[in-house]
Structure 1
Amino acid sequence: MSGRSRVGFCLSDKKRKRMNLAAFSEMCAGQGVQVVEMDLGQPLAPQGPFDIIVHKLSDVIVESEHDQQSRHLLANFQSYVSAHPGTILLDPLPAMTRLLDRFASYRIMSQLHNSLRDWRICSPPYLAIHSPGDMSSTQQAMAKQDLSFPLICKTRVAHGSLSHEMSLIFSAASLPDVHPPCVLQGFVSHGAVLHKVFVVGDRHFCVERPSLKNFPSGPCDRKTIFFNSHEVSKPESSSHLTALDEQMPCLPPPSSEAMAALVQELRVQLGMALFGVDVIIDIRTHTLTAIDINIFPGYEGVPQFFSSLLDHIKKVLDQRHSTGLRSDSEHGATGFQHNT
């Protein structure tokens, strides 16, 4: 990396505060990198030029489907990116948009057992429910997908507070509790431990969190359990839903090599540098099981996040410099591809 680079950050107010962008800016300044907080509500060209734009436009992307102002903001951002091909985007908009749809991200996860069979990595079977229908057709579709009770029901849109509102369904009699569009995912007993994997470029970090306790497989007359996954998996969570039988043996930690293989495969499949994946370990088979993928997560519990993000930014800039390509801030469009 040569000279002083300009990195634009296009984040929501909530994300900016949670990330503590001011502290990150101070760190970058000492490394020859200027951080610019972008205002999507103002013309972007005068705010540039940018060597890299780091963004999380999930709110805008989701709301653009029904809100004209959000649609306008997204169109302006896309126009700026198209007009400045020398600016690198972390991460590509099409890749981020795909991950906002659990129907799409679960298709990706469902293929992991093919590419990572040697590591015994998989994801639970699932069923995408597009619209309300009769329960008999849903049960027939479940049988084809090898789905059995209990089931986790999740919203189709993987963003916003509603995306954390889930339910645990124990029998066909409770299927009317399902509200499409949504995903039904097979529940895997995993010893109430969730492994949150945070990816920053070619580095990743694993943090343990509480998770749902074990439930017997097969249908039962238990009523549907509604819960907020964010609340259940907080570091300090003491929910009754996470309380294990004291005689439950501890599961072995996930293999670091297997985790690395999973992250590498997802980086290839997603074409992204900033994402997270939620992993559990099946108490019966000890199989590593991916249950969700997250866009630009909070990185709570990862003290190395700032240094890792800065290292990745510098690496991306060095790679471009070594190829002889120039950014928009170095005068001139280059046709550099917007991926990481």
Structure 2
Amino acid sequence: MKLNGTILYSCVDDEKEEEETAESETSPPPPASIVVGYALTSKKKKSFLKPKFIRLARNKGIQFVPIDLRRALSEQGPFNVVLHKLEGKDWSQAIEDYQRLHPEVTVVDPPSAIQHLRNRQSMLEVVVDLKLPESYVVKPLVVDGSVKSHALFLAYDHISLSELEAPMVLQEFINHSGVLFKVFIVGESIKVVRRFSLPDVTERDISRISGVFGFPRVSGADSSADDVDLDPAVAELPPQPLLEIIARELHHRLGLRLFNIDIIRQKGTKDLYYIIDINYFPGYGKMPEYEHIFTDFLVSLAQSKCIE
């Protein structure tokens, strides 16, 4: 997918916890005018619904209400927005049925759209045609949030692939100076952070090394490269117009409002970028200023429904 410089595809991921202490309240919050029903895993709830975020939302008239999974969704609410990140056919069917019964409620996001990112093959098909490379990044096909699904390997030859468990996805390894750009999308808002990534592979490595090498999970919040003294050519962020085009195009193709994309710039180039991963509802708690960006997003959803 060429966009103002070549955009191709390859691979990497995220998701960890952060702690935040509560601050004292300074004034009573206004009554809730936007009710957000949420269905999140305990891990996502802990990393996303932090005290500071909850207080800011309350001050903007937003109330978060947990959805009881033991009861029919149609019996709960009323909600202005339903925010969810759960898996399973039963849950997907419940959300789709609820959308039909309550078209006035904004569901973020439709299960059918999220499904594209549960499988790395369908994820890849959204952005690029695959080609046969010299070395490979290897990841499991299914993306289910488990430790196993985040496994990452570098294979230096075809024969070594037999050592890995199928099904898997092969992605071309691109030297990128060990830095990736994690681009968070929240509706129309875009926020970019730098993260350390996999080290470069030299021609000498390819000629001398064989086999498969596993890597620890990369690009998490603890691998931030934002405050590190990097070569300016490496640290330079992708141009904002390019990011806006990519975000708009993926929003159109995927039908999602909440996702992040990992982008790398090929070493030695100025405008040759690769999309290496896409994640639904990523770890926004690790995104700078996420509290303000996300509450503004929820307010805009409610206002757009009022206009309709």
Which bin holds the TM-score, normalised by the shorter protein?
0.7 to 0.9
Q: Where does structure 1 lack aligned partners over 5 or more consecutive residues?
A: 62-70, 111-124, 127-144, 239-246, 324-340
Cα deviation for residue 96 of structure 1 reads 0.5
**Counterpart of 1:292 in structure 2: which amino acid?**
D
Q: Which residue of 2 aligns with 1:101?
A: 119
Select between 210-219 and 192-201 the one with higher mean Cα deviation: 210-219
SS in 2 for 1:280: strand
Q: Which residue of 1 aligns with 2:260?
A: 276
Select between 198-207 and 172-181 the one with higher mean Cα deviation: 172-181
Q: Which residue of 2 aligns with 1:175?
A: 161
Q: Quick one: structure 1 residues 220 and 173, their matched pair in 2 at CA, closer, same or farther if it must change by over 3 Å? A: farther
- Whole-Å separation in 1 of the counterparts to 2:257 and 2:307: 20
Q: Quick one: structure 1 residues 43 and 108, their matched pair in 2 at CA, closer, same or farther if it must change by over 3 Å? A: same
1:24 is the counterpart of 2:71: no
Q: Quick one: structure 1 residues 21 and 163, their matched pair in 2 at CA, closer, same or farther if it must change by over 3 Å? A: same
SS in 2 for 1:251: helix
**Counterpart of 1:47 in structure 2: which amino acid?**
Q
User: Do the aligned partners of 1:191 and 1:250 also contact (CA within 8 Å) in 2?
Assistant: no
User: Do the aligned partners of 1:210 and 1:235 also contact (CA within 8 Å) in 2?
Assistant: no
> Considering only CA atoms, is the larger Rg found in Structure 1 or Structure 2?
1
Deviations 1:6-62 (A, max 9, x none): 1111111110011135543322222222221112233323331111101112xx23x
Correspondence 1:1-340 to 2 at 5 A = 4-57=33-86, 60-61=87-88, 71-110=89-128, 126=130, 145=131, 147-160=132-145, 161-217=147-203, 220-229=208-217, 232-237=218-223, 250-251=233-234, 253=236, 254-286=238-270, 287-323=272-308
Figure out how many residues of one structure are paired with residues of the other and give that number.
268
SS in 2 for 1:277: strand
Cα deviation for residue 108 of structure 1 reads 0.8
- Between the aligned residues of both structures, percent identity stands at 30
Q: Quick one: structure 1 residues 275 and 173, their matched pair in 2 at CA, closer, same or farther if it must change by over 3 Å? A: same
- Whole-Å separation in 2 of the counterparts to 1:300 and 1:7: 18
- Whole-Å separation in 1 of the counterparts to 2:303 and 2:253: 24
**Counterpart of 1:34 in structure 2: which amino acid?**
Q
- Whole-Å separation in 2 of the counterparts to 1:79 and 1:196: 34
TM-score, with length taken from structure 2: 0.79
Q: Quick one: structure 1 residues 164 and 199, their matched pair in 2 at CA, closer, same or farther if it must change by over 3 Å? A: same
What's the Cα RMSD here? 2.5
- Whole-Å separation in 2 of the counterparts to 1:216 and 1:315: 48
- Whole-Å separation in 2 of the counterparts to 1:154 and 1:200: 26
User: Do the aligned partners of 2:175 and 2:266 also contact (CA within 8 Å) in 1?
Assistant: yes
**Counterpart of 1:297 in structure 2: which amino acid?**
P
Query: Which of structure 1's runs of 4+ aligned residues deviate more than 6 A?
Result: none
- Whole-Å separation in 2 of the counterparts to 1:23 and 1:43: 31
Q: Where does structure 2 lack aligned partners over 5 or more consecutive residues?
A: 1-31, 225-229
